[in-house]
Amino acid sequence: MNEKQAQERVNELHELLNKLNYEYYVLDQPSASDAEYDRYMQELLQLEEQFPALKTADSPTVRVGGTVLEAFKKVEHRIPMLSLGNAFNDGDLRDFDRRVRQTIGDDVQYVCELKIDGLAVSVRYEGGVFVQGATRGDGQVGEDITENLKTVRSLPLRLNEQATLEVRGEAFMPKRSFEALNKIKEEKGEELFANPRNAAAGSLRQLDPKIAASRNLDMYVYSIADLGNTNVSSHSEALNLLERMGYKTNPERRRCLSIDEVIDYCESWTVKRADLAYDIDGIVIKVDSLAQQEELGTTVKSPRWAIAYKFPAEEVVTKLLDIEVTVGRTGAITPTALLEPVKVAGTTVQRASLHNEDLIREKDIRIGDYVIVKKAGDIIPEVVGVVEDRRTGEEMPYEMPTHCPECDSELVRIEDEVALRCINPKCPAQIREGLIHFVSRNAMNIDGLGEKVVTQLFSENLIHDVADIYKLTKPQLIALERMGEKSANNLLAAIDASRSNSLEKLLFGLGIRHVGAKAAKTLAQHFGTMEALSQATLEELVAIHEIGEKMAQSVVAYFANPDVKELIEELKESEVNMAYKGPKPIDASEVDSYFSGKTIVLTGKLEQMSRSDAKAEIEALGGKVTGSVSKSTNLVIAGEAAGSKLDKATELGIEVWDEARMLEELQK
Q: Give percent helix, percent strand, percent coil of the chain, each to the nearest 5.
A: 40, 20, 40
Alpha helices in 543-604 (DSSP H): 549-560, 562-573
In a domain, 560, yes or no: yes
Q: How far apart are CA 558 and CA 371, in angstroms?
A: 41
In a domain, 492, yes or no: yes
Answer yes or no: do 267 and 145 share one domain.
yes
**Average pLDDT of the chain?**
88
Q: Which of 55, 115, 185, 486 is catalytic?
A: 115
Region of 206 (left: φ > 0; alpha: ψ -120 to 50; beta: rest) is beta
In a domain, 205, yes or no: yes
In a domain, 628, yes or no: yes
Report CA-CA distances (Å) from 493 to 73, 87, 449, 488, 503: 11, 40, 11, 9, 20
Strands annotated E in 268-401 = 280-287, 306-310, 315-327, 333-344, 347-353, 366-367, 370-376, 380-386, 396-397
Question: Do the beta carbons of residue 141 and residue 153 sit within 8 Å?
Answer: no
Secondary structure (3-state) at 26: helix
Residues 94-139: tens digit of each pLDDT = 999 999 999 999 999 999 999 999 999 999 999 899 999 999 988 8
Q: Residue 441: is its pLDDT beyond 70?
A: yes
Altogether, the residues listed in the chain come to a count of: 668
The sign one gets for the Cα dihedral 346, 349, 355, 359 is positive
Q: What predicted TM-score, i.e. pTM, was given to this entire model?
A: 0.60
Q: How far apart are CA 63 and CA 130, in angstroms?
A: 13
Question: Do the beta carbons of residue 278 and residue 177 sit within 8 Å?
Answer: no
Distant-in-sequence, close-in-space partners of 336: CB < 8 Å, separation ≥ 6: 323, 324, 325, 326, 351, 352, 353, 354
Instruction: Of 198, 200, 248, give the one whose Cα is nearest residue 222.
Output: 248
Amino acid identity for residue 52 in this structure: P
- Give backbone dihedrals phi and psi of 289, rounded to 5 degrees, phi first: -70, 125
In a domain, 545, yes or no: yes
Confidence of residue 512 (pLDDT cuts 50, 70, 90): very high
Answer yes or no: do 202 and 101 share one domain.
yes
Give CA angle at 308 (302, 313), nearest 5°: 130
Residues 398-439: tens digit of each pLDDT = 999 999 999 999 999 877 677 888 988 789 999 999 999 999
CATH code, 90: 3.30.470.30
pLDDT in the model for residue 379: 66
Which of 573, 601, 624 is a domain's end point?
Answer: 573
Looking at residue 189, the DSSP 8-state letter turns out to be: T
Answer yes or no: do 301 and 322 share one domain.
no
Which long-range contacts (C-beta less than 8 Å, at least 24 apart) are formed by 586-592?
A: 586/619, 586/620, 586/621, 586/622, 587/622, 588/622, 588/623, 590/622, 591/621, 591/622
Answer yes or no: do 551 and 488 share one domain.
yes
Question: Do the beta carbons of residue 144 and residue 74 sit within 8 Å?
Answer: yes
In a domain, 418, yes or no: no
In a domain, 582, yes or no: no
pLDDT in the model for residue 587: 58
Q: How far apart are CA 649 and CA 647, in angstroms?
A: 5
Answer yes or no: do 116 and 132 share one domain.
yes
Report CA-CA distances (Å) from 142 to 130, 198, 436, 499: 17, 17, 19, 17
CATH code, 449: 1.10.150.20
Confidence of residue 381 (pLDDT cuts 50, 70, 90): confident
Report CA-CA distances (Å) from 228 to 75, 120, 204, 610: 21, 21, 28, 5
Q: Residue 141: is its pLDDT beyond 70?
A: yes
Structural domain tally of the chain? 5
CATH code, 650: 3.40.50.10190
Answer yes or no: do 134 and 275 share one domain.
yes
Q: Residue 369: is its pLDDT beyond 60?
A: yes
Confidence of residue 319 (pLDDT cuts 50, 70, 90): very high
Q: How far apart are CA 660 and CA 291, in angstroms?
A: 23
- CA 422 to chain centroid: 33
Task: Specify the DSSP element, H or E, that contains 297.
Answer: none
Q: How far apart are CA 320 and CA 309, in angstroms?
A: 30
Task: Specify the DSSP element, H or E, that contains 404.
Answer: none
Q: Is residue 55 flagged as an active site residue?
A: no
Confidence of residue 69 (pLDDT cuts 50, 70, 90): low
| Residue 564 lies in domain | 428-573
Residues 520-555: tens digit of each pLDDT = 988 998 899 999 999 999 999 988 877 888 899 999
Distant-in-sequence, close-in-space partners of 217: CB < 8 Å, separation ≥ 6: 151, 152, 171, 172, 173, 177, 200, 203, 204
